[in-house]
Amino acid sequence: MIESDDLIYSRYLAERNEADFRVLLERHKESLMLFLYSFVHNMEDAEELMLDDYAEAAAGANYSGKSTFKTWLFSIGKKMALMRLRKQRFAARAIYPVGGSLCQDSERSNAALTDEPLSPAGGSLCQDSGRPKPTLIDEESFGRTGEAVGPPELNILREERNRQLYEALSGLKEDYRQILILLYFEEMSHEEAGKVMGKTKRQTYHLAERGRAALKEKLERMGFDYAQY
């Protein structure tokens, strides 16, 4: 008989048995990374967040037991992902202040690094279309691409059904994609998914219903039968 997450985690907190914790890691790490990837759109960031999330679980200091281990784990992961995005956007604004010119800021940055004047001989870096414009920020690393570019390399997506499902989910709105990853890949109940997403039971059902309708339309456009999923 397969032991529940909550039983294993309770025993881990009491005995600090590494084998118990490894069971929990193997059970949820890939679906957790897939969920986190839907926020940050970068696999390295998603993996790092997953490890940070499990480090929090290993400490166990903030676990109240009011929700299931799985719900708590994914809730912590979501908070970490949103916190990372806020920090990255703050960093982006610090480099390119509101109201400032991206070209001017880029030139100032280059001048500070090279002791060159803002507008080198021959014109401005931004005015000179024959020269590459400096790029200080990789937008994908800041989770601002809008949609995932290609599926992440995860064993969970090697199964044809899961790969097709994820491909369809990737074209949906983020909140649809996130709730459906919890329902389809992690097989959470609506109540569990709602707790992770910070929504009421009614809001969760409505979001899932709209998400499934969008998913059905997407799968059918791809030539797949929604009933198989």
pLDDT score recorded for residue 152: 73
pLDDT score recorded for residue 137: 29
User: Per-residue pLDDT for 153 more than 90?
Assistant: no
Residue 86 Cα distances to 27, 52, 79, 91, 208, angstroms:
29, 17, 11, 9, 26
pLDDT score recorded for residue 68: 94
CATH 1.10.1740.10 maps onto the chain at 1-97
pLDDT score recorded for residue 214: 97
pLDDT score recorded for residue 96: 60
Can you give the pTM of this predicted structure? 0.72
Average pLDDT over residues 164-169: 92
pLDDT score recorded for residue 204: 97
User: Per-residue pLDDT for 4 more than 90?
Assistant: yes
CATH 1.10.10.10 maps onto the chain at 159-229
> What's the CA gap between 224 and 106, in Å, rounded?
47
User: Per-residue pLDDT for 164 more than 50?
Assistant: yes
Q: Which fold has domain 1-97?
A: Rna Polymerase Sigma Factor; Chain: A (1.10.1740)
Model pLDDT for residues 14-44, shown as the tens digit of each residue: 999 999 999 999 999 999 999 999 999 999 9
User: Per-residue pLDDT for 188 more than 50?
Assistant: yes
Model pLDDT for residues 59-98, shown as the tens digit of each residue: 998 898 889 999 999 999 999 999 999 998 887 776 665 5
Max CA separation in the chain (angstroms): 75
Yes or no: say if 142 and 85 are a contact pair by the CB < 8 Å rule. Answer: yes
> What's the CA gap between 193 and 36, in Å, rounded?
14
Average pLDDT over residues 159-166: 90
> What's the CA gap between 32 and 181, in Å, rounded?
9
The domain 159-229 is placed in CATH, from the list 3.40.470.10, 3.90.79.10, 1.10.10.10, 1.10.240.10, at 1.10.10.10
User: Per-residue pLDDT for 142 more than 80?
Assistant: no
> What's the CA gap between 185 and 166, in Å, rounded?
9
| Greatest mean pLDDT range, 87-91, 114-118, 192-196 | 192-196
pLDDT score recorded for residue 151: 57
pLDDT score recorded for residue 95: 67
pLDDT score recorded for residue 150: 52
